[in-house]
Amino acid sequence: MKRKIIYLGLLSALMFTSCQEYLETQSDSNFDSEFVFQSPSEADKALLGAYQLVSSESGIHSLRLFYDVTSVGSDIELGPEYVSNTGRYNGQNLYYKTPVLSDYTPDAWNGMYKTINRCNVIIAAFEKNAAYIATDKTKASTLTHLYGEAVAIRATMYFELTRNWGEVIYFTKPILSEADYKNATLTDRNTIQESELDNLIKVEPLMFRLNSGGNATTAVRMTKEYVQGLIGRLALIRGGYALRPPSYTGDGDVIQSHSTRGKMVRRADYLKYYTLANTYLKKLVYEGNAKLVTTDTRTPVQKFSNPFQSIFQNGMDYKISPEMIFEVSQTAGSSTERPYAFGRPSGGGSTAYPPKAYGQIRFFPTYYFGMFDNKDLRRDVTVTTTGLGGVADEKMLLFKKGSTTSGGLALNKWDYSRMSDKKYATVQRVAGINAPVMRMGDMILLLAETYSVLGDDTNARTELLKIRQRAFNPGDSEYALKTTTYVNSKSGASLLAAIQDERAFELGGEGQRKMDLVRWGLLGKKVNELQMQMTLMADALRATGSYTFPNGNVISSYIYTKTYTLAQAQALGLNDILTGNNYVTESDPLYPLLFPAWRGTATDWVAPATVTLKKSMLAIKGLFKPLTAPEITAATTAGYAKVAYGIDLINDVSKPWEVNTNGVFGGYLPADYTANYSPLYLIAIPAATIQASGGNVSNNYGFPNQ
């Protein structure tokens, strides 16, 4: 069979940017429909090309969409810099200034449509292929599974497009000529979501289970379990609240509105989609091969015994956790963003020990100090108070705006220091840690949510309890109180609220919180609550030098730190300065070194003779409780230094941590919430798409068209 090269004309890289841009579908490509299916391995090659686009072009897991949009801009997560520093912060801050089309680059939009078109080519080739047509469609086979992967990749792209842009262009056939795209218009997101749900439901029974054999069923490929989870996710955004155009007159519950931003609406048929999500999430949780990790076999037991941290440690060991349903494969030695953008910050250079880690995902102090239970094992795994220098030394993360060791509390789930192979941990952005997209903890909480909304409190509590039990130490005297007693005390609205809170604790820094708040109709409310608490905190810091959160934790203007070398720490009985769980009481001499947990630095860094490694860590006092005058005297006598901490939240004259136009969600101030205005969280369609569409495509929600 003659091998054809299919050139796919892409306007805006499949969406109107330039008639000169082409995607050559080569190996992945060099195929026509008959050629591809001369063997399943050729179809697999085509799919690998689509997965490569997911990794390099779509932005769903790394730079572009995840970096700029989905990982930040919630009531717990933010970026490290001043909101005025880059255009992308305008959207993260709910548009504190009038939106312009350059606020957000079109790369993710273009990349997702490239990926969609690749999938459409593959799907069309399958549907014309004699071998596939003749395949038994009552059971899973290699060909039906590969077809299902293409459908799942495409549905993933439309999931992201519709929840972040709203109404978008809907292509289900390959773009092979100008005629295929020149009359394209925007399609209502409901139509797209419902169509993609139908497609996923059709392929789900014809796909193989995770890890059931062969490369096509590992967690870096989309399997039956992933499709079940994606059906759950898609159904919940279809059944959730979303911003509709100002002209919307359809059915549903309108909770907020604005003359240009639009209306926050949940359609009247939402329970149908919660029921659909419940059906497929039950299949995933109870019939699938992914498992909630509930044990930690690492030793010593006191240091580890944290199954939650082990999920992310697997990634840093270049392994896949049994909890993972799908993660985007990354290659060590090539450009990757964990831990550089999504992990523990480092002030090292491009080559250092460890190298620079920018730290895009930061957390509001209200999350770390105010929301978490102090005994929750997830808190210090998720959030770090310290970063790293470039010579194996630990540094406090300051609340001054900036990056690396400035910018505030940061994501801790990935850390150069914890990489088992330091070969790729001394050069920035080449670590090669895979990017998680779906894991079991997330899915169990979604299942709990569906049960709660559908009125089944008993089963909702069962699912919530699974996550709570992993989050606390079974040997602690309050374990039952924090888990069984806590969960059993919830019902109705309080149970749903507890599940919503649990998703914040479980999934911080994983790109879920903002869109969770959107679909729950809570984005405006939670932003307003955050603003009120940040105001109370700032007022108290100015008045008294400290602020006490409702849970009793205190943030103070100043803390006290002391640097300990490895030898000094060992003299106190601490053999490893890369710490794990905090397993000592406050009276123990090791407490300042071990609290907070999961910090320090590695001892296995190796540098050339020209570089002197410090191999040191910080002892910290006064972080959650201000020191008394005698304690300050004792600390300074012992060599501790006074360090500005909470004072940096109020000292900056531009007040970036306070409630104002350039501060905490300056695009949605308390007056907006009081007026019941809709928060604008969507993204503008790129200018090139609009300009080349000949009037067929235009922005809504107050976004400009040029």
Per residue in 208-255, pLDDT (tens digit) is 999 998 888 999 999 999 999 999 999 999 999 999 999 999 999 999
pLDDT score of 37: 61
The burial of 523, by beta-carbon neighbours within 10 Å (0-12 exposed, 13-18 middle, 19 or more buried), is given as buried
Q: Residues 381-397: what's their mean pLDDT? A: 98
Alpha-carbon distance of 318 to 456, in angstroms, equals 40
Tokens 């419902």 map to which residue? Answer: 194
Are 321 and 409 within 8 A, CB to CB?
Answer: no
Report the chain's mean pLDDT, rounded to a whole number: 93
DSSP summary character for residue 543: H
Q: How confident is the model at residue 340 (pLDDT cuts 50, 70, 90)?
A: very high
Note the pLDDT tens digit of each residue in 187-208.
Answer: 999 999 999 999 999 999 999 9
pLDDT score of 86: 80
Is the pLDDT confidence value at 641 over 90?
yes
Q: How confident is the model at residue 40 (pLDDT cuts 50, 70, 90)?
A: confident
Note the pLDDT tens digit of each residue in 523-554.
Answer: 999 999 999 999 999 999 999 999 999 999 99
Lowest pLDDT segment from 64-68, 556-560, 669-673: 64-68
pLDDT score of 36: 56
Q: H or E element: which one contains 379?
A: helix 379-382
Is the pLDDT confidence value at 28 over 60?
no
The burial of 514, by beta-carbon neighbours within 10 Å (0-12 exposed, 13-18 middle, 19 or more buried), is given as buried
pLDDT score of 243: 98
Residue 582, SS3? Answer: coil
Alpha-carbon distance of 600 to 596, in angstroms, equals 10
Is the pLDDT confidence value at 666 over 50?
yes
Note the pLDDT tens digit of each residue in 683-697.
Answer: 999 998 998 888 899
Alpha-carbon distance of 291 to 366, in angstroms, equals 32
User: What global pTM score does this model have?
Assistant: 0.95
Are 258 and 265 within 8 A, CB to CB?
Answer: no
Q: H or E element: which one contains 325?
A: strand 324-328
pLDDT score of 9: 30
The tally of CA atoms less than 13 A away on the side-chain side of residue 549 is 19
Using CA atoms, how far residue 302 sits from 258, 434, 573, 581, 642, in Å, is 54, 28, 14, 7, 31
The listed CATH number (2.70.98.40, 3.30.420.40, 1.25.40.890, 1.25.40.420) that belongs to domain 7-60+106-287: 1.25.40.890
Alpha-carbon distance of 335 to 333, in angstroms, equals 7
Alpha-carbon distance of 112 to 452, in angstroms, equals 34
Using CA atoms, how far residue 15 sits from 12, 185, 607, in Å, is 4, 11, 48
Alpha-carbon distance of 432 to 339, in angstroms, equals 9
3 state SS for 417-482: HHCCCHHHCCECCCCCCCEEEEEHHHHHHHHHHHHHHCCCHHHHHHHHHHHHHHHCCCCCCCHHHH
Q: H or E element: which one contains 47?
A: helix 40-53
Tokens 């091969």 map to which residue? Answer: 289
Q: Name, in order, each residue with C-beta under 8 angstroms of 481's C-beta and a sequence gap of 6 or more.
A: none
Are 305 and 598 within 8 A, CB to CB?
Answer: no
Note the pLDDT tens digit of each residue in 259-290.
Answer: 999 999 999 999 999 999 999 999 999 999 99
Q: Name, in order, each residue with C-beta under 8 angstroms of 142's C-beta and a sequence gap of 6 or more.
A: 40, 216
Is the pLDDT confidence value at 11 over 70?
no
Q: H or E element: which one contains 225?
A: helix 224-238
Torsion of CA 318, 343, 111, 51, to 10 degrees: 10
Note the pLDDT tens digit of each residue in 581-599.
Answer: 998 999 999 999 999 999 9
Note the pLDDT tens digit of each residue in 84-134.
Answer: 888 888 999 999 999 888 787 789 999 999 999 999 999 999 999 999 999
Domain spans, the chain: 7-60+106-287, 440-520
Note the pLDDT tens digit of each residue in 403-438.
Answer: 999 999 999 999 999 999 999 999 999 999 999 999
Alpha-carbon distance of 278 to 445, in angstroms, equals 11
pLDDT score of 14: 40
Q: How confident is the model at residue 181 (pLDDT cuts 50, 70, 90)?
A: confident
Q: DSSP string covering 482-496, please?
A: IIIIHHHT--HHHHH
Phi, psi of 578 (to 5 degrees): -100, 100
